[in-house]
Amino acid sequence: MEHINSLAFNRTASSTGETEALNYIAKELELNNIKPEVEHFDWTGPLKILMRVSYILILINLILFRMILIIIVYFILKNMFATLRNISFIKAEQSKNIFALISAKEKVPNRPLVIITAHYDSVSANLPFNLQVIIFFVYRLIVFFYGIIFFVFMTVFLLNILALISISQFIVTIIAFTSISAIFVSIPILYLIFKDRPSSGSIDNASGVAISIELAKIFKKNPLERTDILILWPGAEEWGLKGSKQFCKTHFKSLNQIYDLDKSFNINIDMIGSYVGLVNRSGFFRKKINRNLNEIFGATAKQLNIPLKIYNKTLKPNSDYKSFKKYARKVRSKFQVMCFHSSKDSKYIHSLRDTPDKCSLENLNGCLNICYQAVRSIDLRREDVKKSQIAYAV
C-alpha cells in the first residue's frame, strides 16, 4: 500500500509523471541491491498518426485541385529557416522500459525464465471505461470504411495522374470532402475519450507495480534453484502495449537463445483491486490462454486459502501478455502467458475514481503470495525431476 500511495499521481506516457514513477521503481530496486536497466524507446500515439494522415490527405487534395504553387511555397518556407525546419507536429513520443534480472542459484545453460510484467503508466479519460470500449468499437468500424474510401481515393488519383481515366470535378470534390471530413470526425472522438487529467491509476496499474516490486525483493533474498526471474515494468502500455512490444522486439530472440522458453512463462499483473482475478479463456471461441499454468496457480491459491477468481472473458484484456504471446509464436516456442486482471474493477479505471482506497491490502498480498509460492513450486518440481534423473542414472 505504501507503493500505491507513493504512485498516486498522473503517470501518462511521455509525461514527467511517468519519469517520476520510473525513478521510484529504480530507487526501490537499488535499495534492495537489485540493479535495474532502463531502455528508452519512441512510439507514435493516435493524435500523431491522425496528423500524419491529415498532412498526406491535404497534400493529395492540393495536387488534385492543381494547387501546386501552394505546395512549392510551403516547402520553400519550411526549409528556408532553421527554426521552421525544426518545427514538427508529428514527432514521435518518448517513453522508457525498466527491468531487472534476478539469477537462479544454479546458472545452468538453457535454464527456464519467468518474466513478470506490470505496466507503470496510467491514463485518464472523460468517459467511463465500458463506454470507451463501445465507442472504440464503433470508431474502428468508421476507420475500416474510411480505409475503403481512402483506397478508392488513391486508385482514382493515380489513374487520373497517369491519364488512364478522366474524372469530373464533381467526383473529385466528393472524394476530397469525404477524406478530409473523416479527420474532423476523428478529432472530437479522441478528445472526448482522452484528455490529460490528474489520475492516480491505483488499480490500473499501481497495484501490479507494487506487487512486482515486492516480488523482486523476495526473489532477490531467496533466488530460485534453476530458474531466472526477469521483472519488467513496461511504459506506454495504455497506448497500445508499446513498451512490451519494444522489449520483445529487442530481446525475445536473444532470450530464446539463452533460455529454454518452452519451459518458461510470463506472469502479467494488470489490475488487482476488489478481488484477485485470473483470466482463463478469452475471445468469442473461449480459447484457453495457457495449457496448465492457471491450474497450478489455482491449486496454489486453494492451498494457501486465498480467494482467486479464474474467469472467462469474451473481450481479451488488452495487456502486455499479448506481446509475449505474439513473439512466442514467431519463434515457434511453447512459452506460456497468464494474466491477473480484476475485470469488474474496470468501472473505476481510467478515471478520477481509480484511487488507492479501491485497492485491498488483503488482495494485493494474496496475489503476491500466490505468485511467489506457485513459481517456487514449479522450480522445485523441476529440481526434484533433475535429482530423480541423476539417481536413476546412478
Each domain of the chain, given as residue ranges in start order, spans 2-44+92-124+199-393, 47-89+128-193
Query: Is the Cβ–Cβ distance between 26 and 36 less than 8 Å?
Result: yes
> Which whole-number Å values give the CA distances from 154 to 109, 117, 150, 160, 183, in the listed order?
54, 42, 6, 10, 16
Q: What's the rounded Cα separation, in Å, for the pair 223 and 105?
A: 6
Q: Give Cα 140 distance to the centre of its chain.
A: 19
Q: Give Cα 232 distance to the centre of its chain.
A: 12
Helices (H) and strands (E) in the chain, counts: 12, 9
H/E stretch holding 113 reads strand 113-117
Q: Give Cα 306 distance to the centre of its chain.
A: 28
First to last CA, the chain: 51
Note the pLDDT of residue 394: 47
Q: What's the rounded Cα separation, in Å, for the pair 265 and 322?
A: 12
3-state DSSP assignment of residue 15: coil
CATH annotation of 2-44+92-124+199-393: 3.40.630.10
Whats the size of the chain, residue-wise?
394
Angle, helices 169-193 vs 46-64, to 10°: value is 170
Q: What's the rounded Cα separation, in Å, for the pair 375 and 229?
A: 10
Note the pLDDT of residue 47: 61
- In the block, residue with C-alpha cell 496454489: 300
C-alpha cell of residue 106: 544454479
| Dihedral over Cα of 11, 15, 20, 22: its sign | positive
Note the pLDDT of residue 392: 40
Q: For residue 227, with 0-12 CB atoms within 10 Å meaning exposed, 13-18 middle and 19 or more buried, which class applies?
A: buried
Q: What's the rounded Cα separation, in Å, for the pair 187 and 126?
A: 14
Q: How big is the CA angle at 13 (ends 8 and 14), to the nearest 5 degrees? A: 115
H/E stretch holding 144 reads helix 129-161
H/E stretch holding 322 reads helix 321-330
> Which whole-number Å values give the CA distances from 323 to 95, 204, 242, 254, 261, in the listed order?
17, 18, 9, 16, 15
Over its length of 394 residues, how does the chain's per-residue pLDDT go in tens digits? 999 999 999 998 888 999 999 999 999 999 999 999 999 999 876 666 666 666 766 776 676 667 778 777 777 777 777 776 666 656 678 899 999 999 999 989 899 999 999 999 998 877 777 777 777 777 677 767 766 766 776 676 667 666 655 556 666 666 666 666 666 666 666 666 555 566 789 999 999 999 999 999 999 999 999 999 999 999 999 988 999 999 999 999 999 999 999 999 999 999 999 999 999 987 666 676 777 899 999 999 999 999 999 998 887 788 999 999 999 999 889 999 999 999 999 989 988 889 999 999 999 999 999 999 999 999 988 655 454 444 444 4
Nearest Cα neighbor of 349 from 278, 287, 271 is: 271
Angle, helices 68-80 vs 46-64, to 10°: value is 130
pTM for the full predicted model: 0.81
Q: Residue 42: how many CB atoms within 10 A of its CB?
A: 13
Q: Which amino acid is at 173?
A: T
Q: What's the rounded Cα separation, in Å, for the pair 26 and 355?
A: 23
> Which whole-number Å values give the CA distances from 139 to 133, 202, 235, 317, in the listed order?
10, 28, 25, 18
- In the block, residue with C-alpha cell 468499437: 137
Note the pLDDT of residue 95: 94
Note the pLDDT of residue 190: 63
Q: Where are the alpha helices (H) located in 166-310, listed in sequence order? A: 169-193, 207-221, 242-258, 293-304
